[in-house]
Structure 1
Amino acid sequence: MSFMDKVGSMMMRPGEDAVPKDEVPWWMKYLGRGLGTVGGGIAIFLGLWNCIGILLADVGCLISGMWQMVAGFTVIVIEAPCCCMFIDFVQSLSDFVDKRPYWNRAALYCGIAIPAILFCPGLGSVFGSGLIFGTGVVYGMMSLGKKYVLTFGRNLIYAIG
């Protein structure tokens, strides 16, 4: 057993199989989790910023801000349950979503990101909900399979380099 296998076995969730069931690269999984966690936090902050629009009597931006904060909290609960340990059902919800196929998570994230942009198409809504939508796109690519993900990664490396 190599050193990385030992570290990986220590970082597993309780009850998780040692051999992954899917063939998605590790960097894609961490990209989805990281983008979801950071994007959810930014979406909450920018949703609060949109709620200040009520001072200008803009009810659409208030509704958009509240929707965006709920969407950001939902993404954080699913992607990083350790951030919400004080809520008792968070771990069971996260485990339930982890057992579902990736396309379910992609559809959920893309679906909850769109209404905030429709209610108030400002920069705060587009950026905050755009990060949640981007997380849905990453999970959508993960659901397409290993061949598409590796092609995407190779093209991304060519584009950067």
Structure 2
Amino acid sequence: GSDPAEALAALRRRYEGRGVVLVRVGDAWAFRTAPDLGHLMRKETVEQRKLSRAAVETLAIVAYHQPVTRAEIEEIRGVAVSRGTVDQLLELEWIRFGRRRMTPGRPVTFVVTEQFLDHFGLESARDLPGLKDLRAAGLLDNRPLPGSVRPTEEDEPVTGQSELFED
């Protein structure tokens, strides 16, 4: 016969430095990945989470109207923006804090990030689809938005709002 303790010691020596260790598991023995190599064996998974409608709307508003304040997002959506919605978009690193507005209260603004652009295959926010593209794709109705006014020739286009921001 053979001595089990001697056989276990021989196995330990044989596999020493080979990436596995012999360990006792309950009343049995098993090979396990060596502790110094365990990080290589962890499976990385990408957790896919579906954004809520509020998060999608908020993200779209930030993308198309950036830099935009929470109050402006709420005005456009017509409802309050929950902290959780903004936190989720910040955690995903799809939006970040922008400059503070030079208006009373100096509210913080939100802008999209490089990760947002990369995720959606955009070089810049200017590459976002326009109204014509969205309508052509069937994502928007052809009717005007409630409360919108058709521009007349007398209306001057809105120019930059740089005076509203600090440098």
Q: TM > 0.5 between the two?
A: no
Higher Rg of the two aligned structures: 2
Whose strand fraction is larger, Structure 1's or Structure 2's? 2
Please give the TM-score of this superposition, normalised by the length of structure 2.
Answer: 0.22
Q: TM-score normalised to the size of structure 1?
A: 0.22
Greater relative CO, 1 or 2 (CA 8 Å, sep 6+): 1
The structure with the largest helix share of the pair is 1
